[in-house]
Amino acid sequence: MSPTTGADTAATEAAGSLSRAGDLFQLLRDGKARTRAELALTTGLARSTVASRIDALMQSGLVGPAGEASSSGGRPPSRFAFNPAARVVLAVDVGATHVIVAVTDLNGTVLAERRLGQDVADGPDAVLDRVVAEGAKLLSQTGHGTDRLAGIGIGLPGPVEHATGKPVKPPIMPGWDGFDVVRHVRRSLPVPVLVDNDVNIMALGEQASYWPEHDNFLFIKVATGIGAGIISSGQLQRGANGTAGDLGHVRVPRGDDVLCRCGNYGCLEALASGPAVAHSLTLQGLAADDGGDVLRLVAAGNLQAIQALRQAGRDLGDVLATVVNLLNPSVIVIGGSLGQAGEHLMAGAREVVYRRSVPLATTHLRIGLSMAGDRAAILGASQMVTQYVLSPAVIEATLQATG
């Protein structure tokens, strides 16, 4: 084997330095300040290579000075850290009857937000035009121009083909099927636009903000519909066609005679969603039109409503027990409007999951309520964008463009 010369080493590092820049940046994303020497020791790169990469990252604004390290003699070495204020993200949560638009930094910190009444059934043009207009106002309000906008993340209340951002036969979104959301938004704001269904981004937001140490995580949304966001081995699972996590149309044993809007009988959504629980209470003589009425009855201490909600939790638990055996998550978080009712729904789910799942799968399993609440989707939309724009490949492309 021929010996490697100093010239060969320098040439190899020069050729590979750009490809390593994205990985070097990933080390700094934890916010910990480091010196060039510390980065060289961690990566095994020459200090000159690290210095050139740090200079490029500082020029892009993604890395900034973070004070000085202690000196053992001579001038103290400078430290550098990730600068989350370098760019901003527009995070959007489109619900059945609302839109939330927020501006966040690259760490997902919400800088400003606006909550609007907006019916998704008004169609994509009306909804997205309003999103763009409100987004522009928020950018101005926070003192940022569109040149500081890293990207836009949008959550929609229906199935989405994530690769294209197009809704696919969404049941409560007339006029949205196949609509090119990305192209429409980019006409006004020409930045990366990422689109996913709402429960997936809620899972991202909840996990990143409150459970970052758990790589096997389920977020269950219980509202007008029921769905799950699945994070397995640290990666969001969308499935072959983007329908992974559609728990709402899994059959529940006690629902053989209950017709679901999908045309089948016994679906979880037909038994445990907000409208389904409201309907069961109506049959018992209580005035309940939707999930909001259910929550009001529960808050007032109505025993029938509490029992109905706990039964909905048991129905949910019937499905979750199978999911726990199949995926072995360490955390299940229950959110959505009905999930905010608190312990009653969760208690019913826990009762069945711990009884029906295999003991090994539940040894360390935690089942809890969402801590992000109605901000989960906004936090997740921001996280979806930052995962993309701060990925090694995109960072390297950014450095090439600015280099």
Q: Is residue 197 a contact partner of residue 239, using CB atoms and an 8 Å limit?
A: no
* d(C-alpha 320, C-alpha 38), whole Å: 46
Q: Are strands 217-222 and 331-335 parallel, antiparallel or unpaired?
A: parallel
- Please check the confidence at residue 288 and state whether its pLDDT lies above 70: yes
Ordered DSSP codes for 206-243? HHHHH-TT-SSEEEEEESSSEEEEEEETTEEE--SSS-
CATH 3.90.78.10 correct for 87-191+378-402: no
pLDDT tens column, 160-172: 998 899 999 888 8
When pLDDT is cut at 50, 70 and 90, the band that residue 5 belongs to is very low
Fold agreement (8-84, 87-191+378-402):
no
- Please check the confidence at residue 401 and state whether its pLDDT lies above 80: no
pLDDT tens column, 188-228: 999 999 999 999 999 999 999 999 999 999 999 999 889 99
Residue scoring higher pLDDT (123 or 47): 123
Q: Is residue 300 a contact partner of residue 284, using CB atoms and an 8 Å limit?
A: no
* d(C-alpha 270, C-alpha 255), whole Å: 8
Percent of the chain with pLDDT over 90: 67
Q: Are strands 166-167 and 193-197 parallel, antiparallel or unpaired?
A: unpaired
* d(C-alpha 225, C-alpha 249), whole Å: 9
C-alpha pair distances (Å), 350 with each of 279, 327, 358, 372, 403: 24, 17, 13, 20, 55
CATH numeric code, 211-371: 3.30.420.40
Ordered DSSP codes for 109-163? -EEEEEEEE--GGG-HHHHHHHHHHHHHHHHHHTT--GGGEEEEEEEESS-EETT
CATH numeric code, 8-84: 1.10.10.10
When pLDDT is cut at 50, 70 and 90, the band that residue 243 belongs to is confident
285 CB neighbour count, 10 Å cutoff: 7
- What pLDDT score does 4 carry? 35
When pLDDT is cut at 50, 70 and 90, the band that residue 72 belongs to is low
- Please check the confidence at residue 96 and state whether its pLDDT lies above 90: no
pLDDT tens column, 366-386: 999 999 999 999 999 999 999
Domain ranges across the chain: 8-84, 87-191+378-402, 211-371
- What pLDDT score does 185 carry? 98
Q: Are strands 149-156 and 331-335 parallel, antiparallel or unpaired?
A: unpaired
When pLDDT is cut at 50, 70 and 90, the band that residue 92 belongs to is very high
Lowest mean pLDDT among 50-54, 76-80, 234-238, 351-355: 76-80
Q: Are strands 160-161 and 149-156 parallel, antiparallel or unpaired?
A: unpaired
When pLDDT is cut at 50, 70 and 90, the band that residue 262 belongs to is confident
When pLDDT is cut at 50, 70 and 90, the band that residue 9 belongs to is very low
Buried b (16+ CB within 10 A) or exposed e, 392-401: eebbbebbee
Give the sheet arrangement for strand 235-237, strand by strand.
235-237, 226-232, 217-222, 331-335, 366-369
Classify residue 74 by its DSSP letter: S
What mean pLDDT is reported for the chain?
A: 89
Residue scoring higher pLDDT (70 or 77): 77
Question: Which pTM value belongs to this model?
Answer: 0.87
- What pLDDT score does 11 carry? 33
- What pLDDT score does 13 carry? 39
- What is the SS3 assignment for 336-386? HHHHCCCHHHHHHHHHHHHHHCCHHHHCCCEEEECCCHHHHHHHHHHHHHH
Residue range 104-116: mean pLDDT, rounded: 96
